[in-house]
A = this chain, B = another copy of it.
Amino acid sequence: MLNNFSFKNPTKLIMGKGMIAHLSAEIPSDKKVMITFGGGSVKKHGIYEQVKDALKNHDTVEFWGIEPNPKIETLRKAIELGKEEKVDFLLAVGGGSVIDGTKLISAGLLYDGDAWDLVKKGCETETIPLGTVLTIPATGSEMNNGAVISCLETKEKYAFFSNGPKFSILDPEVTFSLPDYQIACGIADTFVHVLEQYLTKSGESRVMDRWAESILQTLVEIAPKIKENKKDYQNMADFMMCATMALNGFIAMGVSQDWATHMIGHEVTALTGLTHGHTLAIIMPGTMDVMRKQKYEKIMQLGSRVFGVVSGTHDFRINETIRKTRDFFNSLGLTTSLHEENINEDVISEIERRFNDRDVHLGEDGLVTGTIAKEILTKVL
Protein backbone atom coordinates (compact mmCIF):
# COMPACT_ATOMS: atom_id res chain seq x y z
CA MET A 1 0.00 0.00 0.00
CA LEU A 2 1.13 3.55 -0.74
CA ASN A 3 2.90 5.10 2.25
CA ASN A 4 1.85 8.58 3.30
CA PHE A 5 4.29 11.12 1.92
CA SER A 6 5.06 14.75 1.38
CA PHE A 7 6.82 15.85 -1.82
CA LYS A 8 8.23 19.18 -2.89
CA ASN A 9 10.92 20.00 -5.40
CA PRO A 10 11.10 23.68 -6.33
CA THR A 11 14.29 23.51 -8.43
CA LYS A 12 13.86 25.06 -11.87
CA LEU A 13 15.25 22.74 -14.52
CA ILE A 14 16.50 24.41 -17.69
CA MET A 15 17.52 21.87 -20.28
CA GLY A 16 18.71 21.98 -23.84
CA LYS A 17 21.29 23.08 -26.35
CA GLY A 18 22.75 26.52 -25.71
CA MET A 19 20.90 27.01 -22.43
CA ILE A 20 24.00 28.13 -20.52
CA ALA A 21 23.58 31.49 -22.27
CA HIS A 22 20.38 31.97 -20.22
CA LEU A 23 22.33 32.03 -16.94
CA SER A 24 22.26 35.78 -16.45
CA ALA A 25 18.45 35.84 -16.37
CA GLU A 26 18.45 33.39 -13.44
CA ILE A 27 20.80 35.32 -11.14
CA PRO A 28 19.75 38.79 -9.93
CA SER A 29 22.22 41.33 -11.29
CA ASP A 30 22.99 42.83 -7.88
CA LYS A 31 24.33 39.55 -6.50
CA LYS A 32 27.99 38.85 -5.79
CA VAL A 33 28.45 35.41 -7.31
CA MET A 34 31.07 32.83 -6.37
CA ILE A 35 31.49 30.34 -9.20
CA THR A 36 32.84 26.98 -8.04
CA PHE A 37 34.68 24.50 -10.21
CA GLY A 38 36.45 21.17 -10.02
CA GLY A 39 39.65 20.67 -12.02
CA GLY A 40 40.32 22.35 -15.30
CA SER A 41 38.27 20.20 -17.71
CA VAL A 42 35.57 22.87 -18.08
CA LYS A 43 38.22 25.14 -19.58
CA LYS A 44 39.27 22.52 -22.10
CA HIS A 45 35.75 21.98 -23.36
CA GLY A 46 34.52 25.57 -23.67
CA ILE A 47 32.08 25.41 -20.77
CA TYR A 48 34.06 27.93 -18.73
CA GLU A 49 33.90 30.46 -21.57
CA GLN A 50 30.13 29.99 -21.98
CA VAL A 51 29.57 30.59 -18.26
CA LYS A 52 31.85 33.63 -18.04
CA ASP A 53 30.31 35.09 -21.17
CA ALA A 54 26.78 34.66 -19.80
CA LEU A 55 27.80 36.37 -16.53
CA LYS A 56 29.92 39.13 -18.02
CA ASN A 57 27.74 41.79 -16.38
CA HIS A 58 27.75 40.14 -12.95
CA ASP A 59 30.26 40.64 -10.16
CA THR A 60 31.94 37.23 -9.84
CA VAL A 61 34.72 35.49 -7.97
CA GLU A 62 36.00 31.99 -8.78
CA PHE A 63 36.89 29.07 -6.55
CA TRP A 64 38.72 26.18 -8.18
CA GLY A 65 39.62 22.71 -7.04
CA ILE A 66 36.58 20.96 -5.55
CA GLU A 67 37.73 17.38 -6.00
CA PRO A 68 35.82 14.11 -6.56
CA ASN A 69 34.27 13.11 -3.21
CA PRO A 70 34.53 16.72 -2.06
CA LYS A 71 36.69 17.17 1.02
CA ILE A 72 35.84 19.34 3.98
CA GLU A 73 39.46 20.48 3.93
CA THR A 74 38.90 22.07 0.49
CA LEU A 75 35.44 23.40 1.26
CA ARG A 76 36.66 25.26 4.35
CA LYS A 77 38.89 27.30 2.03
CA ALA A 78 35.96 28.09 -0.26
CA ILE A 79 33.84 29.21 2.69
CA GLU A 80 36.66 31.44 3.89
CA LEU A 81 36.98 33.04 0.47
CA GLY A 82 33.21 33.46 0.16
CA LYS A 83 32.98 35.19 3.53
CA GLU A 84 35.88 37.51 2.66
CA GLU A 85 34.28 38.40 -0.66
CA LYS A 86 30.79 38.84 0.84
CA VAL A 87 29.36 36.40 -1.69
CA ASP A 88 25.54 36.13 -1.75
CA PHE A 89 24.96 33.75 -4.66
CA LEU A 90 26.71 30.53 -5.61
CA LEU A 91 27.02 28.94 -9.02
CA ALA A 92 28.40 25.41 -9.14
CA VAL A 93 29.80 24.43 -12.54
CA GLY A 94 30.64 20.75 -12.56
CA GLY A 95 29.43 17.28 -11.68
CA GLY A 96 27.90 15.93 -8.50
CA SER A 97 31.01 16.52 -6.42
CA VAL A 98 31.26 20.20 -7.27
CA ILE A 99 27.52 20.63 -6.68
CA ASP A 100 27.57 18.66 -3.40
CA GLY A 101 30.53 20.64 -2.14
CA THR A 102 28.85 23.90 -3.09
CA LYS A 103 25.74 22.91 -1.14
CA LEU A 104 27.90 22.74 1.95
CA ILE A 105 29.46 26.08 1.07
CA SER A 106 25.97 27.61 0.76
CA ALA A 107 25.24 26.57 4.36
CA GLY A 108 28.75 27.26 5.65
CA LEU A 109 28.67 30.86 4.49
CA LEU A 110 25.88 31.52 6.99
CA TYR A 111 27.42 29.45 9.81
CA ASP A 112 29.92 30.76 12.33
CA GLY A 113 31.57 27.51 13.39
CA ASP A 114 33.44 24.81 11.44
CA ALA A 115 31.38 23.51 8.48
CA TRP A 116 32.21 19.88 9.39
CA ASP A 117 29.76 20.37 12.30
CA LEU A 118 27.01 20.85 9.71
CA VAL A 119 27.93 17.59 7.98
CA LYS A 120 27.94 15.72 11.29
CA LYS A 121 24.60 17.32 12.17
CA GLY A 122 23.26 16.14 8.81
CA CYS A 123 21.19 19.15 7.86
CA GLU A 124 21.15 22.91 7.66
CA THR A 125 18.15 24.85 6.41
CA GLU A 126 19.66 28.33 6.22
CA THR A 127 21.64 28.70 3.01
CA ILE A 128 22.49 31.29 0.42
CA PRO A 129 20.93 30.69 -3.02
CA LEU A 130 22.68 28.31 -5.38
CA GLY A 131 22.42 27.56 -9.09
CA THR A 132 24.22 24.90 -11.09
CA VAL A 133 25.52 24.17 -14.56
CA LEU A 134 25.77 20.38 -14.69
CA THR A 135 28.68 18.84 -16.58
CA ILE A 136 28.43 15.16 -15.57
CA PRO A 137 25.08 13.29 -15.43
CA ALA A 138 25.24 10.92 -12.47
CA THR A 139 24.41 11.95 -8.95
CA GLY A 140 21.15 13.86 -9.41
CA SER A 141 22.51 16.52 -7.05
CA GLU A 142 21.44 19.21 -9.54
CA MET A 143 17.79 18.65 -8.57
CA ASN A 144 17.78 17.51 -4.96
CA ASN A 145 18.79 18.72 -1.51
CA GLY A 146 21.37 16.06 -0.64
CA ALA A 147 25.16 16.16 -0.62
CA VAL A 148 27.88 13.74 0.39
CA ILE A 149 30.99 15.23 1.99
CA SER A 150 34.26 13.49 2.92
CA CYS A 151 36.91 14.17 5.50
CA LEU A 152 40.44 13.39 4.35
CA GLU A 153 41.85 13.37 7.86
CA THR A 154 39.43 10.79 9.30
CA LYS A 155 38.58 8.92 6.06
CA GLU A 156 34.90 9.55 6.77
CA LYS A 157 32.13 10.23 4.23
CA TYR A 158 28.65 11.36 5.25
CA ALA A 159 25.41 12.53 3.67
CA PHE A 160 24.23 16.04 4.45
CA PHE A 161 20.83 17.62 3.59
CA SER A 162 20.42 21.25 2.71
CA ASN A 163 18.34 23.30 0.25
CA GLY A 164 18.32 22.20 -3.38
CA PRO A 165 19.50 24.50 -6.19
CA LYS A 166 17.24 27.38 -7.24
CA PHE A 167 17.93 26.36 -10.82
CA SER A 168 20.04 23.90 -12.78
CA ILE A 169 21.09 24.21 -16.38
CA LEU A 170 21.55 20.97 -18.33
CA ASP A 171 22.99 21.18 -21.82
CA PRO A 172 23.41 17.63 -23.18
CA GLU A 173 26.26 18.83 -25.42
CA VAL A 174 28.55 19.34 -22.42
CA THR A 175 28.60 15.55 -22.00
CA PHE A 176 30.04 14.86 -25.46
CA SER A 177 33.59 15.21 -24.17
CA LEU A 178 33.28 13.15 -20.97
CA PRO A 179 35.77 10.31 -20.50
CA ASP A 180 34.28 6.83 -21.08
CA TYR A 181 34.88 5.77 -17.48
CA GLN A 182 32.96 8.76 -16.14
CA ILE A 183 30.02 7.97 -18.42
CA ALA A 184 30.08 4.33 -17.31
CA CYS A 185 30.11 5.32 -13.64
CA GLY A 186 27.37 7.87 -14.25
CA ILE A 187 25.12 5.26 -15.86
CA ALA A 188 25.82 2.79 -13.04
CA ASP A 189 25.16 5.46 -10.42
CA THR A 190 21.86 6.37 -12.07
CA PHE A 191 20.82 2.72 -12.40
CA VAL A 192 21.53 2.04 -8.72
CA HIS A 193 19.79 5.25 -7.58
CA VAL A 194 16.66 3.87 -9.17
CA LEU A 195 17.14 0.41 -7.65
CA GLU A 196 17.54 1.91 -4.16
CA GLN A 197 14.02 3.34 -4.50
CA TYR A 198 12.51 0.40 -6.39
CA LEU A 199 14.00 -2.89 -5.26
CA THR A 200 12.22 -2.88 -1.93
CA LYS A 201 8.58 -3.79 -1.24
CA SER A 202 6.04 -4.66 -3.89
CA GLY A 203 2.53 -3.26 -4.33
CA GLU A 204 3.14 0.21 -2.94
CA SER A 205 2.60 2.27 -6.09
CA ARG A 206 2.01 1.14 -9.65
CA VAL A 207 2.97 4.56 -11.02
CA MET A 208 6.22 4.85 -9.06
CA ASP A 209 7.16 1.27 -10.00
CA ARG A 210 6.64 1.98 -13.68
CA TRP A 211 8.40 5.35 -13.57
CA ALA A 212 11.40 3.65 -11.98
CA GLU A 213 11.33 0.90 -14.59
CA SER A 214 11.07 3.56 -17.31
CA ILE A 215 14.45 4.95 -16.30
CA LEU A 216 16.02 1.48 -16.06
CA GLN A 217 14.61 0.45 -19.47
CA THR A 218 15.92 3.65 -20.99
CA LEU A 219 19.40 3.13 -19.54
CA VAL A 220 19.50 -0.48 -20.80
CA GLU A 221 18.41 0.78 -24.22
CA ILE A 222 20.83 3.69 -24.56
CA ALA A 223 23.97 2.35 -22.83
CA PRO A 224 25.23 0.36 -25.84
CA LYS A 225 24.36 3.24 -28.20
CA ILE A 226 26.33 5.67 -26.03
CA LYS A 227 29.27 3.29 -26.02
CA GLU A 228 29.19 3.42 -29.82
CA ASN A 229 28.87 7.18 -30.03
CA LYS A 230 28.88 9.60 -27.13
CA LYS A 231 28.18 12.60 -29.34
CA ASP A 232 24.61 11.65 -30.27
CA TYR A 233 22.46 14.45 -28.84
CA GLN A 234 19.30 12.45 -28.27
CA ASN A 235 21.02 9.58 -26.47
CA MET A 236 23.02 11.90 -24.24
CA ALA A 237 19.90 13.98 -23.53
CA ASP A 238 18.09 10.80 -22.49
CA PHE A 239 21.03 9.83 -20.26
CA MET A 240 21.12 13.27 -18.70
CA MET A 241 17.38 13.23 -18.06
CA CYS A 242 17.59 9.72 -16.57
CA ALA A 243 20.26 10.84 -14.12
CA THR A 244 18.30 13.88 -12.94
CA MET A 245 14.94 12.07 -12.73
CA ALA A 246 16.50 9.15 -10.84
CA LEU A 247 17.17 11.22 -7.74
CA ASN A 248 14.91 14.26 -7.63
CA GLY A 249 12.18 12.56 -5.60
CA PHE A 250 9.90 11.98 -8.60
CA ILE A 251 10.13 8.17 -8.32
CA ALA A 252 10.16 8.09 -4.51
CA MET A 253 6.64 9.26 -3.68
CA GLY A 254 5.06 6.98 -1.12
CA VAL A 255 7.42 4.04 -1.68
CA SER A 256 10.00 2.36 0.57
CA GLN A 257 13.68 3.08 0.04
CA ASP A 258 16.77 1.00 0.66
CA TRP A 259 20.14 2.85 0.32
CA ALA A 260 22.18 0.08 2.00
CA THR A 261 24.25 -0.37 -1.17
CA HIS A 262 25.04 3.35 -1.14
CA MET A 263 26.06 3.37 2.51
CA ILE A 264 28.39 0.42 1.94
CA GLY A 265 29.68 2.04 -1.25
CA HIS A 266 30.49 5.30 0.56
CA GLU A 267 32.69 3.33 2.96
CA VAL A 268 34.48 1.58 0.09
CA THR A 269 35.17 4.96 -1.53
CA ALA A 270 36.27 6.51 1.77
CA LEU A 271 38.71 3.65 2.38
CA THR A 272 40.01 2.99 -1.14
CA GLY A 273 39.16 6.00 -3.32
CA LEU A 274 37.25 3.88 -5.85
CA THR A 275 34.78 6.03 -7.83
CA HIS A 276 31.29 6.10 -6.31
CA GLY A 277 29.34 4.73 -9.30
CA HIS A 278 31.83 1.91 -9.68
CA THR A 279 31.46 0.85 -6.03
CA LEU A 280 27.70 0.61 -6.59
CA ALA A 281 28.09 -1.57 -9.68
CA ILE A 282 30.19 -3.98 -7.63
CA ILE A 283 28.04 -4.01 -4.49
CA MET A 284 24.46 -3.96 -5.85
CA PRO A 285 24.48 -7.54 -7.22
CA GLY A 286 25.75 -8.64 -3.79
CA THR A 287 22.92 -6.82 -2.03
CA MET A 288 20.38 -8.42 -4.35
CA ASP A 289 21.87 -11.84 -3.69
CA VAL A 290 22.03 -11.59 0.10
CA MET A 291 18.62 -9.86 0.41
CA ARG A 292 16.94 -12.07 -2.20
CA LYS A 293 14.33 -13.40 0.22
CA GLN A 294 13.16 -9.98 1.39
CA LYS A 295 13.27 -8.47 -2.10
CA TYR A 296 12.15 -11.43 -4.18
CA GLU A 297 8.92 -9.96 -5.57
CA LYS A 298 10.64 -6.82 -6.73
CA ILE A 299 13.65 -8.70 -8.13
CA MET A 300 11.22 -10.81 -10.16
CA GLN A 301 9.43 -7.66 -11.36
CA LEU A 302 12.75 -6.09 -12.33
CA GLY A 303 13.62 -9.26 -14.22
CA SER A 304 10.39 -9.42 -16.15
CA ARG A 305 9.86 -5.74 -16.91
CA VAL A 306 13.44 -4.60 -17.51
CA PHE A 307 15.47 -7.67 -18.48
CA GLY A 308 12.81 -9.87 -20.09
CA VAL A 309 13.26 -12.70 -17.56
CA VAL A 310 9.71 -14.02 -17.59
CA SER A 311 9.82 -17.79 -17.11
CA GLY A 312 11.40 -20.44 -14.92
CA THR A 313 11.29 -21.15 -11.20
CA HIS A 314 11.46 -18.23 -8.79
CA ASP A 315 15.07 -19.10 -7.92
CA PHE A 316 16.05 -19.28 -11.56
CA ARG A 317 14.43 -15.95 -12.33
CA ILE A 318 16.09 -14.26 -9.38
CA ASN A 319 19.52 -15.65 -10.29
CA GLU A 320 19.02 -14.62 -13.91
CA THR A 321 17.99 -11.11 -12.91
CA ILE A 322 21.04 -10.71 -10.67
CA ARG A 323 23.24 -12.05 -13.47
CA LYS A 324 21.71 -9.64 -15.99
CA THR A 325 22.17 -6.73 -13.62
CA ARG A 326 25.85 -7.64 -13.24
CA ASP A 327 26.16 -8.17 -17.02
CA PHE A 328 24.72 -4.71 -17.55
CA PHE A 329 27.40 -3.13 -15.38
CA ASN A 330 30.07 -5.20 -17.13
CA SER A 331 28.71 -4.06 -20.50
CA LEU A 332 29.44 -0.49 -19.45
CA GLY A 333 33.08 -1.48 -19.07
CA LEU A 334 33.04 -1.71 -15.28
CA THR A 335 34.41 -4.58 -13.21
CA THR A 336 31.96 -6.10 -10.73
CA SER A 337 34.15 -7.70 -8.07
CA LEU A 338 36.28 -6.17 -5.35
CA HIS A 339 39.43 -8.17 -6.07
CA GLU A 340 39.57 -6.84 -9.63
CA GLU A 341 40.02 -3.43 -8.01
CA ASN A 342 42.58 -4.78 -5.54
CA ILE A 343 40.20 -4.44 -2.63
CA ASN A 344 40.65 -7.22 -0.11
CA GLU A 345 39.17 -8.68 3.06
CA ASP A 346 40.84 -6.05 5.23
CA VAL A 347 38.55 -3.42 3.74
CA ILE A 348 35.54 -5.65 4.33
CA SER A 349 36.52 -6.15 7.97
CA GLU A 350 37.02 -2.43 8.48
CA ILE A 351 33.56 -1.68 7.07
CA GLU A 352 32.01 -4.36 9.28
CA ARG A 353 33.79 -2.82 12.26
CA ARG A 354 32.65 0.73 11.42
CA PHE A 355 29.04 -0.38 10.93
CA ASN A 356 29.06 -2.35 14.18
CA ASP A 357 30.60 0.62 16.01
CA ARG A 358 27.84 2.89 14.75
CA ASP A 359 25.23 0.13 15.27
CA VAL A 360 23.76 0.75 11.81
CA HIS A 361 20.56 -0.88 10.57
CA LEU A 362 20.31 -0.08 6.89
CA GLY A 363 17.84 -0.93 4.14
CA GLU A 364 14.06 -0.63 3.87
CA ASP A 365 13.56 -2.85 6.93
CA GLY A 366 16.72 -1.96 8.83
CA LEU A 367 18.10 -5.46 8.34
CA VAL A 368 21.52 -4.56 6.94
CA THR A 369 23.94 -4.53 9.86
CA GLY A 370 27.72 -4.79 9.90
CA THR A 371 27.43 -8.57 9.67
CA ILE A 372 25.14 -8.42 6.63
CA ALA A 373 27.33 -5.78 4.98
CA LYS A 374 30.26 -8.18 5.37
CA GLU A 375 28.18 -10.95 3.80
CA ILE A 376 27.27 -8.69 0.85
CA LEU A 377 30.86 -7.62 0.29
CA THR A 378 32.14 -11.18 0.59
CA LYS A 379 29.68 -12.26 -2.16
CA VAL A 380 31.31 -9.77 -4.54
CA LEU A 381 34.91 -10.21 -3.36
CB-based contact B214/A1 at 8 Å: no
For residue A11, which residue of chain B has the nearest CB?
A: B8
**Would you call A302 an interface residue if the criterion is a C-beta within 8 Å of the partner chain's C-beta atoms?**
no
- Looking at A61-69, A201-209, A331-339, A340-348, the stretch in contact with chain B turns out to be A201-209
**Would you call A218 an interface residue if the criterion is a C-beta within 8 Å of the partner chain's C-beta atoms?**
yes
- Looking at A174-182, A237-245, A266-274, the stretch in contact with chain B turns out to be A237-245
Q: Which of B4, B12, B208, B211 contacts A8 (CB 8 A)?
A: B12
- Nearest Cβ on chain B to A166's Cβ, whole angstroms: 10
**Residues of chain B within 8 A of A8, CB atoms compared:** 10-13
Number of this chain's copies in the complex: 2
CB-based contact A253/B241 at 8 Å: yes
**Residues of chain B within 8 A of A222, CB atoms compared:** 206
- Looking at A15-23, A256-264, A360-368, the stretch in contact with chain B turns out to be A15-23
**Would you call A125 an interface residue if the criterion is a C-beta within 8 Å of the partner chain's C-beta atoms?**
no
CB-based contact B245/A207 at 8 Å: yes
- Nearest Cβ on chain B to A111's Cβ, whole angstroms: 26
CB-based contact A203/B234 at 8 Å: yes
- Nearest Cβ on chain B to A304's Cβ, whole angstroms: 14
**Residues of chain B within 8 A of A217, CB atoms compared:** 210
Known: A4-B19, A205-B238. A10 touches B10 (CB 8 A): yes
| A238 to B207 alpha-carbon distance, docked (Å) | 7
**Residues of chain B within 8 A of A245, CB atoms compared:** 207
CB-based contact B218/A210 at 8 Å: yes
CB-based contact A1/B254 at 8 Å: no
Q: CB within 8 Å of B: which of A226-242?
A: 233-234, 237-238, 241-242
Known: A238-B206, A238-B207. A254 touches B15 (CB 8 A): yes
For residue A218, which residue of chain B has the nearest CB?
A: B206
**Residues of chain B within 8 A of A203, CB atoms compared:** 234
| A237 to B13 alpha-carbon distance, docked (Å) | 28
**Would you call A277 an interface residue if the criterion is a C-beta within 8 Å of the partner chain's C-beta atoms?**
no
CB-based contact A4/B15 at 8 Å: yes
**Residues of chain B within 8 A of A17, CB atoms compared:** 4
Q: Would you list 20 pairs from A and B whose C-beta atoms are within 8 A, ordered by A residue?
A: A1-B234, A2-B15, A4-B15, A5-B13, A5-B16, A6-B15, A7-B12, A8-B12, A8-B13, A13-B253, A16-B254, A203-B234, A205-B241, A206-B218, A206-B221, A207-B214, A207-B242, A207-B245, A214-B214, A237-B254
For the complex of A and B, the 9 pairs showing the least CB-CB separation, nearest first, are A4-B16, A210-B214, A10-B10, A8-B12, A2-B237, A7-B13, A206-B218, A206-B238, A6-B14
